[in-house]
Structure 1
Amino acid sequence: MTRITVEDAPGPAGQPVGRDEVWAGLLAFNEAGSGPGSFASRPLSVLLRGEDGAVLGGLVGRSYSGWLYVELFHLPEEHRRAGLGREMLSVAEREAVARGCVGVRLETYSFQAPGFYARMGYRVVGQLRDCPPGHTRFSLAKRLDGVPLEEIACST
């Protein structure tokens, strides 16, 4: 008999229980529709290191399905407004192109850096108000292959 359970205890490496099994099923389904290897994932880190080699901040993400997805991007306050964020994002974009990605996608909150990303050529492709309450979560994207975002349509 099948059953539905709710579980909140962490599994291996702190991941939610069942994550690997659900991902394997979703990956098989996605690749059946888009072709083998189309969702192969490759990690990327562009890090800011101190003189002692310690990681001070950086950009962390992965390329898959033809796009670079920026999962985390943080610089300590004392390293902001010196061009480092622009340089790090540009490095990530160049690496995305080298990997064959057509664009970059990321998320940011209204209290984080939407203006920074707009200046870097990113466009809002979605937003979720009151996430967290009183703020907006923005989904942004930037094409790296010259195709305007406006010409992209989702079809079923």
Structure 2
Amino acid sequence: MGGKLLLPAEEEARRRGCDRACVSSFTFQAPVFYQRHGYVETGRTLGIPGGAQDVRMCKKLDRSPVRESASSPR
């Protein structure tokens, strides 16, 4: 289910001209999910209460053109 939400969000980011997507996830949440979708760890904050860590990850978005209709404003 998460992938069905993530992929359209990445496509919208591309449409808006973004060249990367960045997320933050605690170690007890979903860093492995993001890694499976091509995200790479860029930083980590230690010392979160309960022994968790905050993992920051980014993914380079390809620059493939997004189709626009002929009536779309530029």
TM-score by length of 1: 0.39
How many residues are treated as equivalent by the alignment?
A: 63
Q: Counterparts of 1:87 and 1:106 in 2: how far apart (Å)?
A: 16
The residue matched to 1:138 in structure 2 has which SS?
strand
Runs of 4+ in 1 over 4 A off after TM superposition: none
% of aligned pairs identical?
38
Q: Which residue of 1 aligns with 2:2?
A: 85
The residue matched to 2:48 in structure 1 has which SS?
coil
Q: Counterparts of 1:132 and 1:104 in 2: how far apart (Å)?
A: 27
Relative contact order higher in (CA < 8 Å, ≥ 6 apart) = 2
In the TM superposition, what is the alpha-carbon distance from 1:133 to its structure 2 partner?
4.1
Q: Which residue of 2 aligns with 1:54?
A: none
In the TM superposition, what is the alpha-carbon distance from 1:131 to its structure 2 partner?
1.6
1:142 aligns with 2:59: yes
Q: Which residue of 2 aligns with 1:115?
A: 32
Q: Counterparts of 1:121 and 1:113 in 2: how far apart (Å)?
A: 13
Q: Which residue of 2 aligns with 1:99?
A: 16
Which stretches in structure 2 are left out of the alignment for 5+ residues? 64-74
1:39-84 Cα deviation digits (max 9, x unpaired) = xxxxxxxxxxxxxxxxxxxxxxxxxxxxxxxxxxxxxxxxxxxxx2
CA RMSD of aligned residues (A): 1.2
Q: Which residue of 2 aligns with 1:21?
A: none
The residue matched to 1:108 in structure 2 has which SS?
strand
In the TM superposition, what is the alpha-carbon distance from 1:132 to its structure 2 partner?
2.8
In the TM superposition, what is the alpha-carbon distance from 1:101 to its structure 2 partner?
0.2
Which stretches in structure 1 are left out of the alignment for 5+ residues? 1-83, 147-156
In the TM superposition, what is the alpha-carbon distance from 1:129 to its structure 2 partner?
1.0
1:127 aligns with 2:62: no
TM-score by length of 2: 0.79
